[in-house]
A and B are shown apart, each in its own frame.
Chain A
Amino acid sequence: MENLVFSTWGNWKDSPGPAQTDNLPAQFGQGKPLRAFMGWDGMFVRDASVNIVDMTREYAAQAANQSCGHCSPCRECTYRMKEILERICEGQGAEDDLDMLEYMARYVMDSSYCDIGLTSPRPILDAIEHGRDDFLRAIQEKKPIPRGNYVAKVTAPCINACPSHLDIPGYVEKIHLGRWDEALEIIRQDCCLPGTIGRVCVRPCEFNCRRGLMDEPIAIKALKRFAADQELIRGVEPGFSTTETKEDKVAIIGAGPAGLACAYHLGIKGYKTTIFEALPEPGGMAKSGIPDYRLPPDILNYEVSLVEKAGAEIRYGVNVGKDITIEDLTEKGYKAVFVGVGAPEASSMRCEGEDAGYERFMTGIDFLREIAFGRRPIEGKKIAVIGGGNVAMDCVRCALRIGFDDVNLIYRRTEAEMPADPVEIEEAKEEGIKFNFLVQPIKILAENGKVSGLECLKMELGEPDDSGRRRPVPIEGSNFIIECDAMVPAIGQVVVVDRVVPEGTELTRRKTLVVDKITFQSSQPNVFGGGDCITGPATLIGALAAGKNAARFIARYLETGECRPEDTDWMEKTISDLGVYDKEETMPFVGQTRRPRQAALDPSVRIKSFKEVESGFSRADAFKEASRCLRCYRIGLAAV
């Protein structure tokens, strides 16, 4: 409640409802107070000296600017509202201006198509209601009002949930209009691997999609893939708008998603980069982890070739830390270094025998990498894969494809707690994988140095743990043996960034690189880092976002020697703190349209090869799906 002049935040939810007064952000960046905020759910003012009339003018200008122009109320009235407010602020307001403003605001809010029109008038009405005297004074005094300092940002529930903040409604709309190339252009601004992400993203956006509250979330991932595929199908040359070439060169360690994104976005800004990659091929875990049936190699390779076109040179077979050090790179004239080395080592299972060096025992990521490079990693007929995440899913489905007859997944909790994507679980079941739940391995058994079985304990679910999932507890004396002749633990990876960065660079206890959350700068000013090596095993889109943002700050660092967050970065944080997706929201009606499904190969066919399982949307399906988007754009404006 501290310093709150007034708040209407949230009162529009079930209008009129109670406004939120607690837990509203008070800070805007380091040491800067947030003086006032206007947005989709109302407004709050913390500093009485904020000129509410001026702020409303700015907000209305943003609304008019964001109006796409497709529906009459918003197109015809947001700009008229802006004009009236401009007039008032220039000292030329008229008596009936306020009535007209309120009339138009209510009409736009009542009758528009999407949330720009439906939500942007709300804080304008709030401002007039709470600051009527200020408005009347401005109209009567007829003096120009000086402009204050504001930061604006457009978001949406899906955009906010996406680590890289793709303009999802923007590209979905372009697909709806049949302008696929423009859709892809929008996607590439924040994601340089659209065909990859369009196939394997964990899609936090879809879990935060408002359409999901009506019937089913928009198939955001599949639509992205559609746009990417159209470029290839139609043989369109993607357009780049690289700026003039800059002098400074940047070294990037690791050609995984984080490194590629950093190189791409630096390339667009005119910087040449050299990527040093230990393996003989690019892509990081997208290449050596994710199997071909989920992500065909030609898609990834094509997208990497575009990163090269944007200005990156990739040197393969160079292990930084071993073959060359970051200090060497600095000496060679690389003015900044981006570390994107991922989380390459398997975590230990804490199970007797895992370090014994038995034959036919291999960690999940080694197993997948061998397969990715076209080799058969281990022999055998009956395999046990241990773990419940996506890596474990990839291992079991790959095991089937390389010829294991009997594939068993072993997981210590139940299906409900599995972190793997439900779609993956479903597809694995269809393919005939056997799931063993509530089983904990305790000892690896071997004969003649070869894996022969796994001693396990039965488990039951107890109290919830930190992650909120119920903790599995062993049942005393329930030991039993699962016979098998090959074994793959897939229970996670660890980061070993200490091998790469110069001594003295700040690391966490888990050996991840410590970087600033916004700028991605490490404790060494010229060393930046992002992706799995700062977070531990995470997601592709998270790595792409890190690479993209780091590129922006590397450029700043090179140009100014400094590296500080900008107002728009703090605004992003303010908006995330406020929250954009409201999963309690009651929608006006129950939706009647489901998303189309992408066609998938029949299980009996797909287990015979590494051919891609899913094919993309048809044009008709993409069009139909895109038309379901509610365009939940929201405008936020902060006075700072």
Chain B
Amino acid sequence: MGSENVIVIDGQEFFFSAGETILQVAQRNGFDIPTLCYLKGASPTGACRICVVELEGSQNLVASCATPAAPGMVVRTETPRVINSRRTSLEVLLASGQHNCLAQDLSMDSWTDFQVKSMAAKGHDDLCPAYGECRLQDLAVQYQVKTNHFTPADVSYPIEDVNPFIVRDFSRCILCGRCVQACNEIQVNNAISFDYRGSKSKIVTEGDLPLKDSICVFCGECVQACPVGALIPKKDLLLERSSNETRKIRTTCSYCGVGCQLYLHVRNNKVVKVTGVEDVGPNFGSLCVKGRFGYDFINDPERLKIPLIKENGKFREASWDEALNLIAEKLTRIKKESGPDSIMVLSSARITNEENYLAQKFARAVIGTNNIDHCARL
């Protein structure tokens, strides 16, 4: 073997290419190493320690996500020592704040005490809103974690919800740092970072101001990255809990020409949430504030669905045929009376390339003017 790029994982040999981490080699070969803080596309931070593995020659366990594979490494991914460490990590994380969900395996009395205490805190009148979509909860179930070793910690920082989009619930933050990676390395907004130290650690903006007073642009990349219920879309909290199923419908964002891929979360024929589609271009999960949070117009009662014609200062409903005929007639008249250059066509970034092409074709070939422009240039 020698200097060849081969490592041994649980007794089997695998090739790796330079720069690959133990985790990448393992996952590529079908090993199930759990991760929590590791964010695809960003550099590993080794913060959560869930992905630890045993490495021959090392006194301590190593984080597989942050350790580059080296020739001759002998790695074990599922030993009792490894399982024990992962379990303890999950336990301490669950006990680190107000994770009031069913993963909290406390005895009956203290469970009730804990819930009552949790729900007394501002914005906590229900179970954690991430319930069922929480990576910590999933892993706690998978690793059959008992949480009664550690008394749950008190709330260290109050909830921050003074903006229309994002609720930051520090009592549920496990300080995995995914939001920081998402903000700094994926979006490159550099709006948030770790601060304070030890058990007082907190994810902060510069000067520890609320998000709205920082350079945050509310793209929500951090919300999408947060594995628990610490960063949640504000609108999620307004949703009544419902047994009706939420369907995810994949579509292309209609706001601009980038063509971001997103999921509309639809319940009772209403869009209740938008998330980015991970792993596909052009956006690989990222969205902007409009794409992620600006979906209310879809269900807005003010939204125009039928053409309107203004007569005597008042709008009346009309059929498409009637409306289009009226427009064609008026354009023809203007062109005849004042010449084609008295007309200008303004198209939009929110329509497709093909539609924009047709718009200029219409301006040049049908109307006969070069007066064609586009809102994205304004």
Which A residues are within 8 Å of any B CB, using their own CB? 12, 15, 64-73, 75-80, 100, 107, 109-113, 118, 177-179, 586, 588-593, 627
A588 and B194 in contact, given A72-B89, A113-B49, A627-B43 (Cβ under 8 angstroms): no
Q: Mark B237-257, 1 if CB is under 8 A from A, else 0.
A: 000000000000000000000
Q: CB of B347 within 8 A of chain A?
A: no
Contacts A/B (CB < 8 Å), 5 sampled:
A64-B198, A72-B93, A75-B175, A79-B199, A111-B88
Tell me which of A79, A111, A178, A589 contacts B61 (CB under 8 A). Answer: A111
Q: CB of B184 within 8 A of chain A?
A: yes
Interface 9-residue window, one of B25-33, B52-60, B214-222, B317-325:
B52-60
B71 smallest CB distance to A (angstroms): 7
Query: How far, in whole Å, are A425 and B326 apart by their CA atoms in the complex?
Result: 85
| Cβ contacts under 8 Å, B196 to chain A | 69
Query: How far, in whole Å, are A76 and B55 apart by their CA atoms in the complex?
Result: 24
| Cβ contacts under 8 Å, A15 to chain B | 59
Contact A588 B55 (CB under 8 A): yes
| Cβ contacts under 8 Å, A100 to chain B | 149
| Cβ contacts under 8 Å, B197 to chain A | 65, 67-69
Instruction: Give the bracket for the number of chain B residues in contact with chain A.
Output: 35 or more
Q: CB of B48 within 8 A of chain A?
A: yes
B74 smallest CB distance to A (angstroms): 10
Q: CB of B174 within 8 A of chain A?
A: yes
A76 and B95 in contact, given A112-B49, A589-B58 (Cβ under 8 angstroms): yes
Decide if the interface of chain A is mainly helix, strand, loop or mixed. loop
Task: Return the chain A residue nearest B45 by Cβ.
Answer: A70
Query: How far, in whole Å, are A15 and B174 apart by their CA atoms in the complex?
Result: 32
Query: How far, in whole Å, are A590 and B70 apart by their CA atoms in the complex?
Result: 6
Contact A179 B89 (CB under 8 A): no
Instruction: Supply 17 further A-B pairs (C-beta < 8 A) apart from A67-B198, A591-B68, A592-B68.
Output: A69-B196, A69-B198, A69-B200, A69-B201, A70-B177, A73-B89, A75-B175, A75-B199, A80-B150, A109-B60, A110-B81, A111-B49, A113-B49, A113-B63, A118-B59, A588-B58, A589-B70
| Cβ contacts under 8 Å, B200 to chain A | 69
Contact A71 B48 (CB under 8 A): yes
Q: Which of B125-160 contact A (CB under 8 A)?
A: 149-150
| Cβ contacts under 8 Å, B43 to chain A | 627
Q: CB of B207 within 8 A of chain A?
A: no
Decide if the interface of chain B is mainly helix, strand, loop or mixed. loop
| Cβ contacts under 8 Å, A72 to chain B | 47-49, 89, 92-93, 96, 174-175
| Cβ contacts under 8 Å, B49 to chain A | 71-73, 111-113
Query: How far, in whole Å, are A177 and B192 apart by their CA atoms in the complex?
Result: 10
Task: Return the chain A residue nearest B174 by Cβ.
Answer: A72
6 nearest A-B pairs in the assembled complex, by CB-CB distance: A69-B201, A588-B58, A76-B92, A592-B68, A67-B198, A79-B199
Query: How far, in whole Å, are A50 and B55 apart by their CA atoms in the complex?
Result: 39
Which B residues are within 8 Å of any A CB, using their own CB? 18-19, 43, 45-49, 52, 55, 57-63, 67-71, 73, 81, 84-85, 88-89, 92-93, 95-96, 149-150, 174-175, 177, 184, 190, 193-194, 196-201
A112 and B92 in contact, given A64-B199, A71-B46 (Cβ under 8 angstroms): no
Query: How far, in whole Å, are A112 and B66 apart by their CA atoms in the complex?
Result: 12
Query: How far, in whole Å, are A416 and B198 apart by their CA atoms in the complex?
Result: 47
Task: Return the chain A residue nearest B196 by Cβ.
Answer: A69
| Cβ contacts under 8 Å, A66 to chain B | 198
Query: How far, in whole Å, are A112 and B92 apart by their CA atoms in the complex?
Result: 13
| Cβ contacts under 8 Å, A67 to chain B | 197-199
| Cβ contacts under 8 Å, A589 to chain B | 55, 57-58, 62, 67, 70, 73
Contact A75 B198 (CB under 8 A): yes
| Cβ contacts under 8 Å, A73 to chain B | 49, 88-89, 92
A586 and B57 in contact, given A70-B177, A76-B199, A592-B69 (Cβ under 8 angstroms): yes
| Cβ contacts under 8 Å, A80 to chain B | 150
Contact A111 B201 (CB under 8 A): no
Query: How far, in whole Å, are A627 and B175 apart by their CA atoms in the complex?
Result: 18
Contact A68 B184 (CB under 8 A): no
Contact A70 B194 (CB under 8 A): yes
Query: How far, in whole Å, are A354 and B223 apart by their CA atoms in the complex?
Result: 75
Contact B198 A79 (CB under 8 A): yes
Contact A112 B60 (CB under 8 A): yes
Query: How far, in whole Å, are A66 and B198 apart by their CA atoms in the complex?
Result: 7
